[in-house]
Amino acid sequence: MKRVGIIGGGASGLIAAIQAARKGAAVTLFEKQKKIGRKLLATGNGRCNITNTDIDVSHYHGHNPRFVNNVFARFGLQDTIDFFRGIGLPLVEGEEGKLYPASLQASSVLDVLEYETRKLGVTISLHRRVDAIRTRGDHLLLETAGRERHEFERVILSAGSCAYSPLGASRSGYELAESLGHGVHEPFPAILPITIPLRILHRLQGIKWEVGIEVLLNGKTKSRSGGEILFTAYGISGPAALDVSRAANELVLQHQQPVIVIDLFPGMTEEDLRERLEILWTDGDKGAAFSLQGTLPRRMPQVLLEMAGIQADRKSGALTPAERGAVLKILKRLTIQPGRPRDFSEAVAAAGGIDVNEINGATMESKIKPGVYITGEVLDIDGESGGYNLQFAWSTGAIAGASQC
Ligand SMILES: Cc1cc2nc3c(=O)[nH]c(=O)nc-3n(C[C@H](O)[C@H](O)[C@H](O)COP(=O)(O)OP(=O)(O)OC[C@H]3O[C@@H](n4cnc5c(N)ncnc54)[C@H](O)[C@@H]3O)c2cc1C
């Protein structure tokens, strides 16, 4: 019976443990925290967006995103749905193709995974941080922080990324892989709020608004989304801002100068909006900001007009054609520059990670260190928001586990 040691009791480590145990392996799973699946419990705002009906390479990023094609060909969406149904967790579809547990509770996902691992006889070793992977003859030794040594024929590294440190995420997985000779693309935070250094914008703190949002570099669109954004004390948050944050962060870290363009009226053409403004300005005695009061949330007209270089109390009737054009422009193309990325502690995912060209996509085995398998977010693949990161974790974990026969 093959002995398999798994490093990390998160999404991909747990599914790997189940699949390996089903193949008859004697599995020991090491988790450095005092509980398994802490991040899993926080997913999807506590509902766990397990996957998405539209699993496709276009939702993934990294130096070689096509790697996911190999992975999903072996364990894809339907396999994931069947796997969870098989362990007592039917999925239901929510908005935008997102799939959730029918209970709408992340805790039930962890409960069924944990039940299954225990039923299959997986040994779960909590509070055991693996600090080193060593070789002894044909075998692999896992050394924990407490200097315990455990010997295995195979090891699955499922240690996750360094995103969202409040739940215990760290660089541990990258360091272990580097110690084996793997290359790691420097991780950077993805799916998180965006800092906008422009201070006047911070006066909009607390306002939520439906927008179209784009990240552009030299006039070319690098990322685009639509939906709600939330103005904050330091910049912008909300689902649409999180969607484009990866592109903004990557470009800023490359010392490029991207801009973020926000369309505050995505449902209207420029012409329709111009007509609406002209109607609002028919009473020329109204202050320019006051004339927009019924159209935009409080504080916004004042701030936007200031940004357009127009005094808020100017009579709207006195606005020149150029000033009217400037108001229209700021409403349809509010252009701002992103600042340095915020910290990993706020990031839902990490971009970068272990080079996937060094992994066999059919088994998840390392091409550098035979006998070691690597799965989940520690790899240089990050998905968009919407269930894509968990799907990658399930698929890679399941493949690595099923390869232990
Ligand atoms: C707030 C939040 C919400 C999210 N919501 C969603 C969502 O709804 N849908 C979605 O698709 N994705 C979501 N994600 C992303 C998703 O949770 C991750 O992509 C996924 O958990 C990655 O799985 P993993 O197994 O690779 O890593 P993890 O789930 O992070 O598990 C890694 C485990 O390894 C342990 N570990 C690390 N190093 C060691 C070591 N040296 N020794 C022993 N143990 C170690 C860690 O403590 C951790 O328990 C969310 C992330 C966050 C932070």
Report pLDDT digits (tens) over 56-71. 999 999 999 999 999 9
- Residue whose entry in the numeric block shows the structure tokens 């990670």: 353
Count CA within 13 A, CB hemisphere, residue 311.
Answer: 5
Local structure of 58: helix, strand or coil = helix
Residues 33 and 9: their CA atoms lie apart, in Å, by 9
Instruction: Kindly state the tokens that stand for 5.
Output: 């040691």
| Opening angle at CA 32, ends 136 and 38, nearest 5 | 140
Residue 17 beta carbon below 6 angstroms from any ligand 1 atom? no
pLDDT confidence band for 294 (50 / 70 / 90): very high
pLDDT at 384: 97
Residue 158 beta carbon below 6 angstroms from any ligand 1 atom? yes
Residue 390 beta carbon below 6 angstroms from any ligand 1 atom? yes
Q: Where are the alpha helices (DSSP H) in 156-219?
A: 172-179
pLDDT digits (tens, 9 = 90+) for 316-361: 999 999 999 999 999 999 999 999 999 999 999 999 999 999 999 9
Residue 32 has pLDDT above 90, yes or no: yes
What share of the chain has pLDDT > 70, as a percent? 100
Residue 193 beta carbon below 6 angstroms from any ligand 1 atom? no
Please tell me the least confidently modeled range out of 15-29, 73-87, 158-172, 276-290.
276-290
* Mutational pocket test of ligand 1: of 389, 394, 399, the residue with most ligand atoms within 8 Å of the beta carbon: 389
Q: Tell me what the mean pLDDT of segment 279-308 comes to.
A: 94
pLDDT digits (tens, 9 = 90+) for 253-266: 999 999 999 999 99
169 C-alpha to center of ligand 1: Å? Answer: 7
Instruction: Kindly state the tokens that stand for 38.
Output: 């802490």
Do the beta carbons of residue 73 and residue 119 sit within 8 Å? no
Shortest-distance Cα residue to atom 24 of ligand 1: 160
pLDDT at 316: 92
pLDDT at 147: 87
Q: Going by C-beta distance under 8 Å and a sequence separation of 6 or more, which residues neighbour residue 294?
A: 280
Q: Tell me what the mean pLDDT of segment 362-373 comes to.
A: 98
Candidates 43, 11, 41, 46; CA nearest to 117 is 11
Q: Where are the alpha helices (DSSP H) in 234-333?
A: 239-253, 270-280, 288-291, 300-307, 321-332
39 C-alpha to center of ligand 1: Å? Answer: 5
Count CA within 13 A, CB hemisphere, residue 249.
Answer: 25
pLDDT at 405: 82
Residues 18 and 35: their CA atoms lie apart, in Å, by 17
Q: Which domains does the chain have, with CATH numbers?
A: 3-188+353-402 (3.50.50.60), 194-336 (no CATH)
Residues 130 and 224: their CA atoms lie apart, in Å, by 40
pLDDT confidence band for 392 (50 / 70 / 90): very high
pLDDT at 23: 97
361 C-alpha to center of ligand 1: Å? Answer: 20
Other CB atoms within a 10 A radius of the CB of residue 202 amount to 15
Candidates 306, 208, 233; CA nearest to 292 is 306
Instruction: Kindly state the tokens that stand for 176.
Output: 């272990």
Average pLDDT, the chain: 97
Do the beta carbons of residue 384 and residue 70 sit within 8 Å? no
DSSP string, 342-356: --GGG-SEEEEEE-G
Residue 1 has pLDDT above 90, yes or no: no
Residues 13 and 224: their CA atoms lie apart, in Å, by 33
Residue 5 beta carbon below 6 angstroms from any ligand 1 atom? no
State whether the Cα torsion 379-382-383-389 is positive or negative.
Answer: positive
Residues 307 and 230: their CA atoms lie apart, in Å, by 18
pLDDT at 88: 97
pLDDT confidence band for 146 (50 / 70 / 90): confident
Residue 313 has pLDDT above 90, yes or no: no
Instruction: Kindly state the tokens that stand for 9.
Output: 């009791």
Local structure of 60: helix, strand or coil = strand
Local structure of 18: helix, strand or coil = helix
- Chain centroid, CA 155 distance in Å: 26
Q: Tell me what the mean pLDDT of segment 47-53 comes to.
A: 98
Q: Tell me what the mean pLDDT of segment 87-106 comes to.
A: 97
Instruction: Kindly state the tokens that stand for 208.
Output: 């939520």
pLDDT confidence band for 167 (50 / 70 / 90): very high
Q: Tell me what the mean pLDDT of segment 23-31 comes to.
A: 98
Residue 173 beta carbon below 6 angstroms from any ligand 1 atom? yes
